[in-house]
Chains A and B, each alone.
Chain A
Amino acid sequence: MARTIAKRFRAGVPGYVLVAPAVLVTVVFLVIPMIQTGYWSLTVYNGVKPPQFVGLQNYIDLLTDPRFLRIIQNTVFFVVMGMAIGPVLGLASAVLLNQSVRLRALFRTTFFLPTMVSLVAVATVWKMLYQDQGMINQVLATFGLSGTDWLNDPTTALPAVVVTSIWQGFGFETVVFLAALQSIPREFYDAARVDGAGAWAQFRHVTLPGLRYTIVFVYVVGIIGSFQVFDQVFVMTQGRPGISTRTMVYELVEQFQNLRLGTASAIAYILLIILAVMSYIQIRLGEGD
């Protein structure tokens, strides 16, 4: 028995050696920091004095604080709006680009271009567009419409940040959907047409089922990214006016800046739990048949 185990171990040595670097990196840069962060989330810790264990107090304080609940609400609004519009736009543009249209490559590149531009640069440009006397209000004025000070109005600031994010990100979804669309066999559409299916029926019964795993992928990645929104908020509004655009990661960074590593770690774990639950649900939905 022992000889068999030793033999099997020796046979596996090359494999262990090959995976060792990846395991080591994962443990050092992922597992240990996660454990450390988890411990800090149960402490009052400023990075200088030794951590003081307080149990779940950081979580209780956060989850009973109306301000933090509003911050979660802002983040969820950002995710819901972004995910309701972005992937739909991406899918619509992908379906259009999947037709035999002229200059398709140009359109594809154009749609994808914003994704390649730094989010900070995009946010900076949109911040200028949204100014009281910015281009958006000037365009509205030519149609006799009066705009508002988009980023300084608590009711429009967060939607304005959402629009910027959708504009920057939907090109990625377009390209992903386009690649998936082109992998759906043409024969399926031919067969559907023979059965008398119109364009909408083809989309519903051929395209959408063919894109199921891609849709799950886009939503899983999109929701994870949306919950982590920070750059746009940092550049465009600094979480203001009021706390109307303050998001969870923005709050996390600010807590860290104030040397409240325990609270910052607790926010990180709350975010982790939300993302884990959301991803699990999405993956299960994607598997359902």
Chain B
Amino acid sequence: MSRLTRPVILLAAAVLAAGACGSAATQSPTSPVTSASGAPATATAAATAAATAAGPATPEASIDTTPVTLTVWDYYGKDTTPFTPDAIAAFQKEYPWITVDRQDLDWDTFIQKFNTAVASGQSPDVATLDMTWIPTLASNDVLADIKTLSGGAMNGKPIADQYAAGPLEAMTYGDKYVTAMSDFDAYVLYYRADLLEKAGIAVPKTWDDLRAAAKAIAKDANGDGKLDKYRYAVRPNTFHFSQFLFQNGGSLLTPDNTKAAFNGPEGVSALEFNQSLVADGSGLYWSDASGDLPPALADERVAMFSDGPYYMGLLKSGVPDQAGKWRVAIAPYSKQPGSYLGGTGLSIPASSAHQAAAWKFVEYFLRPEQQTLVYTVAGAMPATTAALQGPDLTKPDPYFGGQIPSVEFLETLKTSTHFPYVSAWSDIDTAIGENLDAALVGKVTAQKALDDAAAAADAALAK
């Protein structure tokens, strides 16, 4: 009997298993931020603030005020969620007919649980969703159209005026808004300023600079003839590869999203650049199997890496003794700056029975004062342009030697691109990642690795 039951139990277990997360963005806080529609963010912020200052919402005649309980699935974490108890209490005070049941879920297992809930018709009313999950969910009609629910407006202003072009595009699937971005993820260069200064090296701006800087600061600490300290972390995943690809003028897919394009000359030379860093020892191949990066930062195996805003928090908590030594900069590029664009979206499942109330919740937590909590509490970069102008995001950070890190992230956001919204994206992502491994450990050439990945991607796209 048990032999027969195991696979079924496994399938059930699979339903209960897995997860994800991420975030990234643009615009200098020292200069006016332009929203996607072209309206100055300062004007948007003022209008939003005015709308907010109007005080507790007076139920409009058309709003159904029948008491409802909203189930909110949140992967930000109990102690790092922007949906703080105080903020939820304030929301419930403003919308007294809505009770919020916020539930903590682990990012790693979130998507399996969410899929299970969707498949069983028991989905939450609001969910924090990693932007990399959106293609699969949107292409399966899992998410409600926020444009319809909101009438295209958020807190009294057009949604299009409240985001920069990149985030707005990332929220769009077809002619719908399938999520409302809460925080963004775009990759900058994190580097040990003390080591660069000691070596007399300027902050790298190009790939050649990066190679030179990596070689200049890397050391052979144990004297075995191999570089083992202060290296650049080379990561074999689509997030990092696409950064180099975009910087080299390449793209992941053809413009009509029907064929892989990442195996073109731009992709091949981008991967060859990463291979060369690993080959000469100045780059440290760092996969998921290598574990989390912070231990390698703590023992100084890694002194430079590319990643998103959430690493600011990881640095502060993981290596507090290195305060003042780290800085961030626009990631070095070959032809043009570029990064993948991800983050967290607040989505409303299409099967939610309380979509109107759910939108009220989403709308409330995208107000500037609530979005600030994304930075101050969650340690991520808020996605709305008004929030990015807030004082908390524009003050010097002592951990980064008095630098204002958000400046670099906002600048990066301007040139960030989200992953293609095709239903086969998960297969393409997997194919790229799996083949990067072989290339970066020197088993195959960059061209062969990317051609193999492209063949798998094309097959997935053809289905």
Which A residues contact B (CB, under 8 angstroms)? Answer: 30, 33-34, 37, 46-49, 67, 127-128, 131-133, 149, 151-154, 157, 220, 224, 228, 230, 234, 236-243, 249, 252-254, 256-259, 261, 264-265, 268-269, 271-272, 275-276, 279
Given contacts A46-B140, A48-B141, are A151 and B289 in contact (CB under 8 A)? yes
Extra A-B contacts (8), CB below 8 Å, given A128-B291, A271-B6: A48-B119, A48-B142, A131-B290, A151-B290, A152-B285, A258-B136, A259-B140, A264-B14
B435 close to chain A: CB less than 8 A: yes
Q: Give chain B residues whose Cβ lies under 8 Å from the Cβ of A249.
A: 10, 14
Q: Are B441 and A154 in contact (CB under 8 A)?
A: yes
**CB proximity to A under 8 Å, residues B1-22:** 2-8, 10-12, 14-15, 17-18
Query: A241's contact among B119, B427, B438, by CB below 8 Å, is which?
Result: B438
Query: A224's contact among B2, B11, B141, B435, by CB below 8 Å, is which?
Result: B2
Q: Are A257 and B12 in contact (CB under 8 A)?
A: no
Interface string of B293-313 (1 = CB under 8 A from A): 000000001000000000000
A224 and B10 CA atoms in complex are apart in Å by: 12
Query: B437's contact among A131, A241, A252, A269, by CB below 8 Å, is which?
Result: A241
Given contacts A30-B8, A259-B115, A264-B14, are A224 and B3 in contact (CB under 8 A)? yes
Query: A275's contact among B6, B142, B350, by CB below 8 Å, is which?
Result: B6
Q: Give chain A residues whose Cβ lies under 8 Å from the Cβ of B290.
A: 131-132, 149, 151-152
Q: Give chain B residues whose Cβ lies under 8 Å from the Cβ of A48.
A: 118-119, 140-142, 350-351
Q: Are A47 and B115 in contact (CB under 8 A)?
A: yes
**CB proximity to A under 8 Å, residues B135-181:** 136-137, 140-142
Q: Are A157 and B289 in contact (CB under 8 A)?
A: yes
Q: Are B6 and A49 in contact (CB under 8 A)?
A: no
Given contacts A224-B3, A243-B434, are A268 and B115 in contact (CB under 8 A)? no
Q: How far is the CB of A112 from chain B (nearest CB, A)?
A: 22
Q: Are A127 and B289 in contact (CB under 8 A)?
A: yes
Q: Give chain A residues whose Cβ lies under 8 Å from the Cβ of B10.
A: 228, 230, 249, 252, 268, 271
Total residue contacts A-B, CB cutoff 8 A: 141
Q: How far is the CB of A268 from chain B (nearest CB, A)?
A: 4
Q: Give chain B residues whose Cβ lies under 8 Å from the Cβ of A228.
A: 6, 10
Q: Nearest CB to that of B427 among chain A residues? A: A258
Q: Are A259 and B8 in contact (CB under 8 A)?
A: no
Q: Are B433 and A153 in contact (CB under 8 A)?
A: no
Q: Are B119 and A47 in contact (CB under 8 A)?
A: yes
Q: Give chain A residues whose Cβ lies under 8 Å from the Cβ of B2.
A: 224
Q: How far is the CB of A257 from chain B (nearest CB, A)?
A: 5
Q: Are A242 and B426 in contact (CB under 8 A)?
A: no
Q: Can you list 7 contacts pairing A with B, beta carbon distance less than 8 Å?
A: A33-B8, A127-B289, A152-B285, A240-B288, A268-B10, A268-B11, A272-B7
A157 and B351 CA atoms in complex are apart in Å by: 42
Q: Give chain A residues whose Cβ lies under 8 Å from the Cβ of B351.
A: 48
A46 and B350 CA atoms in complex are apart in Å by: 14
Query: A47's contact among B118, B288, B301, by CB below 8 Å, is which?
Result: B118
Q: Are B115 and A256 in contact (CB under 8 A)?
A: yes
A217 and B351 CA atoms in complex are apart in Å by: 47
B112 close to chain A: CB less than 8 A: yes
Q: Nearest CB to that of B459 among chain A residues? A: A65
Q: How far is the CB of B295 from chain A (nearest CB, A)?
A: 9
Q: How far is the CB of A75 from chain B (nearest CB, A)?
A: 13
Q: Are B14 and A256 in contact (CB under 8 A)?
A: yes
**CB proximity to A under 8 Å, residues B432-446:** 433-435, 437-438, 441, 443
Query: B441's contact among A37, A241, A243, by CB below 8 Å, is which?
Result: A241
Query: B287's contact among A46, A241, A243, A259, by CB below 8 Å, is which?
Result: A241
A152 and B289 CA atoms in complex are apart in Å by: 6
